[in-house]
Chains A and B, each alone.
With several copies, the nearest count.
Chain A
Amino acid sequence: MINKVVKTASEAVADVFDGAIVMISGFGEAGSPIELIHALIDQGAKDLTIVSNNTGNGHVGLAALIENRQVRKMICSFPRTAHSIVFPELYKNGEIELELVPQGTLAERIRAGGSGIPAFYTPTSVNTPLAEGKETREIDGKPYVLEYGLKADFSLVKCKTADRHGNLLFNKTARNFGPIMCMGAKATIVQAKEVVDLGMIDPEIVVTPGIFVSKVVEIADPLSENQLIKEERRYPWR
């Protein structure tokens, strides 16, 4: 029988190893799998490369993972947001690497990695510093940059609803990078607000089919990053 549901976030992230490439869903404060990230902080895997659109907020979630010195390198499009404090500090001190990728190229590289497409051409970043050192090519008279698919060892993703096969539904703009990150990793670990019985999700509306998911843990009342930031909380809690 297929049952991808595990009981705890710690169990879900137990296999993450030192040096792993880990994709983390979310855009700003929406869609970040904060309980999975905190479990990863407890677990302690280090030297990680994180693929995520931003660099976390305040001192919780992804920001706390970075602050806990578990991250060697960030691959992201917008490392500098209103509530990003931790990353800028480490970056200025040369204590963390950054690979800056335009947002659409980041999304497409993740989808390509998950789709067996090793590389593709895109007009994005042509004639800019972000294309420096990259192969360019004219196709039908227009210049394009060659970009490579991104593959991760693990993805940590937050969603609304899951079943034991790993079929997923998302909530509003918290969907963002979730579905493509599910495709892009060897092992995809999902936290869902609710786990429902098989057959409860209409096959016509499944956003992420279970084939892209390895483990599911139910986190019925996930923490709100916004709230934690307002309260100036830090993880590990102190």
Chain B
Amino acid sequence: MEVVIKKGWSREEMAQNIARDIPDGSYVNLGIGMPELVANYIPENREVVFHTENGLLGIGPSPAEGEEDDEMINAGKKPVTANKGAAFFHHADSFAMIRGGHIDICVLGAFQISEYGDLANWSTGEPKAIPAVGGAMDLVQGVKHVIIITKHTTKDGKPKIVRECSYPLTGKGVVDRIYTDLAIIDVTKNGLFVKEMAPGVDFETLQSKTEASLNQY
């Protein structure tokens, strides 16, 4: 009998890993795309309030088909509902929450993260590309804990955790923790520390897929 070693976490498992680490009572902003998955995995005994920068605290589950409302959407422009205890507000108040340090955690995607916690996630810097920044630069500066969810490498296998970001920065020294398909990595003053590795992943393999130097606790 052959033992099948599963290499790396799936998208759902990455989201689960993050959800597991979000404390009860947290106020959380989820970026567009993969970060949105996190909402599905909050343990049932925890109450977490989700914020969307377009003016809602207390996002509920997606509406049933046919129940969508054009005027009830999240930052990704997808239809949402509101939980009990929700509140609507305008954009300046919404970013007062973000910039003012009132949101506990945000989960964002990334193009690159440097070993100093620099983040690049808004522009590839290509001359023909249309730049679009949204709320990312506000989130990384204002939110207490900035968490990244990303595949460990690009589609063509290049490291996303690098010594220095080559793409335009979203913020310098802003990332607190990185959740990839291969590992969970803390960004500390003393460098990157591997907190956990996916089943079947060893430190050497992980380092080989990472440009920046990794440390073990």
Q: A contacts B directly in the complex (CB < 8 Å)?
A: yes
- Majority SS of interface residues in chain A? loop
Count residues on chain B whose CB falls below 8 Å from chain A CBs: 59
Contact (Cβ within 8 A) B99 A122: yes
Q: Name the distance in Å between B47's Cβ and chain A's nearest Cβ.
A: 5
Whether A79 is near chain B, meaning CB under 8 Å from some CB there, is yes
Whether A71 is near chain B, meaning CB under 8 Å from some CB there, is no
Contact (Cβ within 8 A) A108 B92: yes
Given contacts A77-B134, A100-B131, A108-B95, contact A204 B100 (CB under 8 A): no
Given contacts A78-B132, A127-B169, A130-B137, contact A203 B87 (CB under 8 A): yes
Contact (Cβ within 8 A) A210 B98: no
In the assembled complex, the Cα of A100 lies from the Cα of B132 at a distance in Å of 7
Given contacts A2-B25, A173-B55, contact A206 B49 (CB under 8 A): no
Contact (Cβ within 8 A) A173 B71: yes
Given contacts A110-B92, A124-B141, A173-B52, contact A116 B131 (CB under 8 A): no
Which B residues from 131 to 176 make CB contacts under 8 A with A?
131-138, 141-142, 168-172
Given contacts A180-B90, A204-B88, contact A211 B49 (CB under 8 A): yes
Contact (Cβ within 8 A) A115 B99: yes
| Residue interface mask B117-137, A partner, CB < 8 A = 1 | 000000100001011111111
Chain B contacts of A174 at CB under 8 A?
A: 70-71
In the assembled complex, the Cα of A129 lies from the Cα of B135 at a distance in Å of 15
- Can you list 13 A-B pairs with a CB-CB distance of less than 8 A? A27-B54, A29-B77, A30-B72, A77-B135, A79-B131, A92-B128, A102-B137, A129-B123, A129-B168, A173-B72, A177-B90, A183-B102, A203-B82
> Chain A residues in contact with chain B, CB under 8 A?
1-2, 27-31, 53, 77-82, 87-88, 91-92, 98, 100-108, 110-111, 113-117, 122-130, 163-165, 167, 170-180, 183, 198-199, 201, 203-204, 206-207, 209-212, 224-226
Q: Besides the contacts A114-B102, A204-B88, what 10 more A-B pairs have beta carbons closer than 8 Å?
A: A1-B24, A78-B134, A102-B138, A104-B137, A115-B95, A116-B98, A129-B168, A172-B69, A180-B91, A210-B85
> Chain B residues in contact with chain A, CB under 8 A?
24-25, 27, 47, 49, 51-58, 69-74, 77, 82, 84-103, 123, 128, 130-138, 141-142, 168-172
